[in-house]
Structure 1
Amino acid sequence: MLVSNIEIIPGRKVIKHLGMAQGNTVRAKHLGKDFLAGLKNIVGGELKGYTELLQEARDEAVQRMVDQAKGMGANAVINVRFSTSSVSAGAAELFAYGTAVVLE
Structure 2
Amino acid sequence: MVECIIVSTPFVPGHKITKNIGFTWGLIVRSRGLGGNIVAGLRTITGGEIHEYTQLLNESRSQALDRMKDHATEMGANAVISVGFDSSEIGQSMTEVLAYGTAVVIEPETAPSNPVRLT
For the aligned pair, the TM-score class normalised by the smaller chain equals over 0.9
Gaps of 5+ in 1: none
Gaps of 5+ in 2: 108-119
Q: Hey, which bits of structure 1, 4+ residues long, moved more than 6 A?
A: none
Q: Pick the aligned partner of 2:9 from 6, 10, 25.
A: 6
Q: TM-score, length-normalised on structure 1? A: 0.95
Where 1:96 maps in the other structure, the secondary structure is strand
> More relative contact order in 1 or in 2 (CA 8 Å, sep 6+)?
1
Structure (1/2) with the larger helix percentage: 1
Q: Pick the aligned partner of 1:88 from 87, 91, 101.
A: 91
Partner Cα distance (2:95, 2:40) in 1: 16
Given the alignment of the two structures, is residue 24 of structure 1 paired with residue 6 of structure 2, yes or no? Answer: no
Alignment-derived partner of residue 69 in structure 1:
72
Q: Pick the aligned partner of 2:62 from 45, 59, 73.
A: 59
Q: TM-score, length-normalised on structure 2? A: 0.84
Alignment-derived partner of residue 47 in structure 1:
50
Where 1:13 maps in the other structure, the secondary structure is strand
Query: For the pair shown, which has the larger CA radius of gyration, 1 or 2?
Result: 2
Partner Cα distance (1:4, 1:50) in 2: 25
Deviation at 1:29, TM superposition (A): 2.1
Deviation at 1:45, TM superposition (A): 1.7
Q: How many residues align?
A: 104
Residue identity (%): 45
